[in-house]
Structure 1
Amino acid sequence: MTALTNRLRAATPRLTFLSGSTVGPFAALLLAGAFFTTQSGQFLAGGNLALVIQQVMVVGTLAIGQTLIILTGGIDLSCGAVMAFGGVLMAKLAVDAGWPPLLAIAAGIAVCAGFGLVNGLLVTKISLPPFIVTLGVLNVAFALTHIYSDEQTISGLPSALTSLGDTFPFGKTDVTYGSVLMLGLFAVFAYVLGQTAWGRHVYAVGNDSEAARLTGIPVQRRLLAVYTLAGAVYGIAALLLIARTGVGDPKAGQTDNLDSITAVVLGGTSLFGGRGLIVGTLVGALLVGIIRNGLQLMGVPSIYQILITGILVILAVTVDQLSRRRSKR
């Protein structure tokens, strides 16, 4: 038992800001910022940097839940569709059903958590692969979104649903409340993963679930909690999406699942589980946002933004794979 415990401790990364998994992404973020600063005088303007954060707040929040799941060795393809359903549900309950806005928001977050619970139950109780489970739930959530909304965008939302899109002055820059909420969520989950027993259990399950079980960690309960919590985070992302767009859009989030995985991978979290930091995910999301913003300022067509992002993902996964091979030698 002692040997297993020591094995898990050795496999769990040191949870510091500039650990081995985050140095590369952080350096890439600084280099990208320096490059675009030389290419456009608008890049470092406070308003532009605030815009970058605003542009990544939805995907960044989705990526928090995605990080939790990937740390356990899983993956979630359903997050964007679940978020879209949660947003449409909040909007219709508030507008069409006349629910109090706060109750509509709570219901949307609860339903998203319910999707996460279903994912977790299928993964833990039936031992289905997370890829297959979440691919199926993606299609279910996508279909339910379009059926429930009748393909209609819901507008005329009460201000309580869109207030996170409002801004407040920060120096000479206007910052949205939603951006602050996203950063706050990153801070909370950085603490939970880095400073609590629950967070250490998440890493242990991702490193070696069988060894974690033998040391007394309730692996299935931890996985179930991770998937359910991730679903609740997707519900918060749905609220941020509504705040950003001002409508309940059934067509939203169709590629956000891939964008969230991109942010996690670029942030240094291993797709094999057990290694990475939530702060790295924030860096990865900002890196994608800065690259797209910088290229737009340079007048580069959007298709090249997708091309460069894809190349960066392949490089990040290659580095992860090579580092795993070296650690096994």
Structure 2
Amino acid sequence: MAVLAQDGGLAFYGEPDEAREWFRADRIEDIYLRLAEAEEHEWAGRFGAAPAPAPGPAIGAFRQWVLLTRRSLDLLTRNRLTLAVLLGSPLMVLAMFAVLFRPGAFSPESPSPAATVMILFWIAFGGFFFGLTYGLLQICNELPVLRRERLTGLRITPYVLAKATVLLPLLAVVDALMLGVLRALDRLPAMGWGTYGELFVTLLLCSLAALALGLLVSAAVTDPAQATMALPMLCFPQVLFVGAILPVPVMAAPGRWLSCAMSNRWAFEGLGHSLGVERLWATGRSPLGPPLLDSYGDTFSRAPVVDWAMLGGFTALFLVGACLVLTRRT
């Protein structure tokens, strides 16, 4: 143990039993009384000539990432209540989706354009919401510990990547479950494995970008209450400017530019392209199909890889931002 005098000088370094003998104290707590009663520099002067402990070998970034990932996983699995909330909230959302939407909205014989838009949007928003909420409380709770560990050589990048590494598989399970349940309930159309593979990649990248955003905000706030208050502020723009409630082509110019900064927009449009909503609206018997298709313009015309690149860019940007914020704060 290390004991510092009131002026910050080293008063003792060694084993606890040796510390009690050095300060002639019966208990560890009495050491601080001895320091308070002593003259300034008294104890620091007595121990000043002692050699400082030799620093241990530095741990590389990869090994730090492995150790931090293991620690984060242990913390997550040991807290059963937190794990139950993380797994239970998607099940509640899926139950609400099942009650909200009717089956057969994507049927070519009688498509429901308005319903298909809302189904696509809420799937994308579900992936965004889960990723954001999973990340919001990850760092702000650990800032005091992180500051102390930084003094011993902890690197910020392995720390942030460890958080994402632990939570990403959980998000993958949640996203796959969402698509599987909605397909089983006929809220999504019957299509091949290739199509559903595209849907899964789009949704997972959407969740990952939101997770990175959550980690950035968690690194910037000072306590969990602030992170909770930031949740609606982060969600509302992702609802209004994605292009589901109001198509992007008919937005005002500032709204169109702002929509480009919404990660959820690219997930929504990628899902729509993979499910072929343009073909569905154009060939269906619904009289709302062509007018609705015209209002969306070329919204769903891009290949999914373009949307994946945008979502990957958001993820990298937010993760780098989280690392920079934590480096400055610690």
TM-score normalised to structure 2 length: 0.31
Q: Which has the higher contact order (CA 8 A, sep 6+)?
A: 1
**Greater C-alpha radius of gyration:** 2
